[in-house]
Chain A
């Protein structure tokens, strides 16, 4: 298990009440940026090989094309992933993080609107479902 705030925080909490004091461990966890994990304690896991799936390769290429044509750069992408917060950063598959921050960045920059995105997602999903049936 990765070390998350929820793993070392108190089991019982008062609802969203700022505490007077917190442990050093909890403070370290709270102020730590999610992506900088070098040296953190963890237990061995099997390191698995995994074939890149089509959507993963496409996500990589889409993100690179956005950078190639000046929408963002790799540092902005990584920063945006970091800003997802620990729950999403560690909770999403690797390329799902990329896809998520590409989407957020396009919306944040006003290059697409949430309505356009919703409509396009519905359209794509319907098209894929039709093709699969």
Chain B
């Protein structure tokens, strides 16, 4: 279904020596999704309003919620204690409601949420070896690489090597803990607050808590910002 590319009369010749080109005009998967969605709506399985409401939620989630959680935990020990005790409930204090957008949460994320604290002795990193479970309400949609079988295969067996490919070299003295997410449990890493940030505001702190630092494949740096990915700053991808 759509794995092949149709050339619908777009006028180019089929010379054997011509490089193969993608036919960009219509994606078969786009056709399939629209067909399924429209049939579902016509049959009353869900409504166009359901789709609109869910899309609006999905387009507005992102790692900023997680960044706020971490920055607040760095500056407020009581909040940090609550966050580590009960991640799901404490999210509400920064405006993340796990019951959005349906009143009972998303069908894929109805779950318990745990925040994993990095320490000088322990570095945490998350994966989903079975599929692509990810704390969407807190971190947004997962990056494409997180969903790849390659990451899912390799992280559990050789985490230090995989982290090194992301540019993160964890010293041998630090234990690396890999947390395998599943349907019922979602995780997020709370990185360590970097040195030299003592007088920073919560907003300034949140800006260096990038998505990758909360997955655990990076650690916050004082010269990073949330709007510039580590890869743009010379990190290996």
A-B contact count (CB 8 A): 184
How does the 8 Å CB contact mask read for B31-54 relative to A, with 1 for contact and 0 for none? 111111111100101100011001
B58 adjacent to A60 (CB under 8 Å):
yes
B153 adjacent to A42 (CB under 8 Å):
yes
Asked whether B151 is an interface residue with its Cβ less than 8 Å from the other chain, the reply is: yes
Contact of A74 among B45, B143, B183 (CB under 8 A): B183
Among residues 100 to 138 in chain B, which have CB atoms less than 8 Å away from a CB atom of chain A? 102, 106-108, 127, 129-132
B36 adjacent to A68 (CB under 8 Å):
no
Stretch in contact with the other chain, from A7-15, A20-28, A89-97: A89-97
Asked whether A40 is an interface residue with its Cβ less than 8 Å from the other chain, the reply is: yes
On chain A, the residues within 8 Å of B45 by CB distance are 65-66, 69, 71, 106, 111
Asked whether A41 is an interface residue with its Cβ less than 8 Å from the other chain, the reply is: yes
Asked whether A30 is an interface residue with its Cβ less than 8 Å from the other chain, the reply is: no
Q: Output the nearest chain B residue to A73 by Cβ-Cβ distance.
A: B107
Asked whether B148 is an interface residue with its Cβ less than 8 Å from the other chain, the reply is: yes
Kindly state the separation between the CA atoms of A95 and B33 in the bound complex, as whole angstroms. Answer: 10
Asked whether B226 is an interface residue with its Cβ less than 8 Å from the other chain, the reply is: no
B37 adjacent to A58 (CB under 8 Å):
yes
On chain B, the residues within 8 Å of A48 by CB distance are 144-145, 237
On chain A, the residues within 8 Å of B39 by CB distance are 106, 112, 116-117, 120
B153 adjacent to A62 (CB under 8 Å):
no
On chain B, the residues within 8 Å of A47 by CB distance are 143, 145, 148, 150-151, 165-166, 237
Kindly state the separation between the CA atoms of A92 and B132 in the bound complex, as whole angstroms. Answer: 15
Interface size counted on chain A using CB atoms at 8 A = 63
Kindly state the separation between the CA atoms of A95 and B2 in the bound complex, as whole angstroms. Answer: 12
Among residues 51 to 82 in chain B, which have CB atoms less than 8 Å away from a CB atom of chain A? 51, 54-55, 58-59
Asked whether B152 is an interface residue with its Cβ less than 8 Å from the other chain, the reply is: yes
Kindly state the separation between the CA atoms of A48 and B130 in the bound complex, as whole angstroms. Answer: 20
On chain B, the residues within 8 Å of A55 by CB distance are 27, 29-30, 33
Contact of B237 among A46, A67, A77 (CB under 8 A): A46
Smallest CB separation, A63 vs chain B (Å): 8
Interface size counted on chain B using CB atoms at 8 A = 61
Smallest CB separation, B128 vs chain A (Å): 9
Asked whether B180 is an interface residue with its Cβ less than 8 Å from the other chain, the reply is: yes
On chain A, the residues within 8 Å of B127 by CB distance are 38
Asked whether B25 is an interface residue with its Cβ less than 8 Å from the other chain, the reply is: yes
Smallest CB separation, B167 vs chain A (Å): 11
On chain B, the residues within 8 Å of A42 by CB distance are 149-150, 153-154
A36-B129, A58-B33, A96-B32 known; 9 new pairs, CB 8 Å cut-off, are: A36-B130, A38-B156, A42-B153, A47-B166, A49-B143, A62-B37, A66-B40, A69-B45, A111-B43
Kindly state the separation between the CA atoms of A21 and B110 in the bound complex, as whole angstroms. Answer: 45
Q: With A47-B148, A68-B46 as given contacts, are A106 and B40 in contact (CB-CB < 8 Å)?
A: yes
Asked whether B233 is an interface residue with its Cβ less than 8 Å from the other chain, the reply is: no
Contact of B26 among A95, A112, A129 (CB under 8 A): A129
Asked whether B195 is an interface residue with its Cβ less than 8 Å from the other chain, the reply is: no
Asked whether B173 is an interface residue with its Cβ less than 8 Å from the other chain, the reply is: no
Contact of B35 among A52, A81, A90, A120 (CB under 8 A): A120
How does the 8 Å CB contact mask read for B150-169 relative to A, with 1 for contact and 0 for none? 11111111000110011000
Which of A55, A77, A99, A128 has the largest count of B CB atoms less than 10 A from its CB? A99
